[in-house]
Structures are given as C-alpha cells and as structure tokens.
Amino acid sequence: MITRTEAARLIDHTLLRPDATLPEIEACVGEAVDLGVYAVCVEGRWVEDVVEMAWGTGLKVVTVCGFPTGEAGMGVKAEEAAMAASLGADEVDMVADLEAIRLGEWERLEREVAMVRVAIDDVAPGGILKVILETAALDMTAVGNAARTVARGGADFVKTSTGFHKAGGATVETVRLLHKYVGGRLGVKASGGIRTADEAVALLRAGATRLGTSRTRDILEGWAAEV
C-alpha cells in the first residue's frame, strides 16, 4: 500500500520547457517543496539557481544532458553531465543515442553510458545517472537489449521517455518489461504523459521506482488515502 506522502517521495517534479523563465522555475521549486516530492528536474541552464533555491529543504536537484534528442556526441554529453554535477546537481538524466539503439550498436551505447558515468564520478562520486531510452519509439526487443546495455555501462536507472518525442511516453507494458530486465539492479523511472493518479499507480505497480511528471499536483490531489 502506498500513501500519498510515500508517492510524493517517488516523484521528480519536472519543468523542462525550453522557454521556462526564472519566475516559473522558482514557482516549480516552491511547489515541489510544498508537495513534498523527492526531486525537481530542470534544464542545465537552471541548475545553479535551483541548487541555491533548494538549499536546506531536502529537495534533490535533477537535470538532463543530451536533451531532448540524444543526438549530441558522447563527449558533449559527458561534459554536460560533469558541469551539472560540479554545479551541485544530484542526478543527471541522459538521453541515449536513439539511432545507436535502433541499429543495435550496443557497444557504442555502453561506451556512451560509461563515459557519462565516469564524468559524473570524477566530479561528484555517487551522483545518480539515469538513461532515457525513448521507449515509445522502439520495439520491445530493442527496449530489453538497451536496458541490459545501460546496466553494463554503469547507469543507476533506466528511464522511459523525455516527454518530448512524438511517439509518446511511458506505458505500463514498457515499465513492466524494464522491471523484468533490470529491476532490482537498476531503478526504473517512468516519465512522459503521466497526468493522473490512476496512471501513476499503474506504473508503480508495473515496477516503476520513480516517476517524472509536470502534473504532480494533479496526481497527488487525486491520490486515495492508500493504494
């Protein structure tokens, strides 16, 4: 049974719109603290500001690299992740090379994850690395292979989606598959299109250990006393 308070501690409250303003970021952080969520997730541009805003609240700071397409070179992603870690980000959500996954270039994907892993550890040992696979754009075989590869590369979590791809976001079927392949070794973050408490509950029951959403208040206000 998961209470509303427990559910909040599984959420990364997210604002990744490219046109977000500083007042909107401040409001997002304030809402995250008010709702009692685990973390707030913002673009790298805002990490330093958000670290300062969140100081003393217990709120974790998450940012992204290679976002939202994953097309940047692995060296660029590594530099971006290292910079974020140096500014105080607790966690980095990296968008994987989607074309490498589609082509089955598993060695390349593993090298990319490993390079970003090392970049974070050199600056902030113990920093959390999540890898976004954009699962809605893949078949289930590719999702399973990619999840296993990401685990070998040293990720802490596998994540479904950016929320920006036209193919869609998290599904119960995909989360269940990710949990099957890496659950217990890696966390599973479901993100993209999660708008209601019912959707959040279904994803958690399928094996998600973290949720990413900008609709946190709606989800938690719709939460039953226990589910």
Options 90, 130, 156, 159, the catalytic residue: 159
Cα gap 84→169, rounded to integer Å: 25
Q: Is 93 a catalytic residue?
A: yes
Cα gap 202→194, rounded to integer Å: 10
Q: Is 180 a catalytic residue?
A: no
Q: Is 122 a catalytic residue?
A: no
Contact residues for 45 (Cβ-Cβ < 8 A; gap 6+): none
Options 93, 97, 130, 156, the catalytic residue: 93
Residue 182's closest CA among 144, 154, 211, 153?
144
Catalytic positions are 93, 159, 189
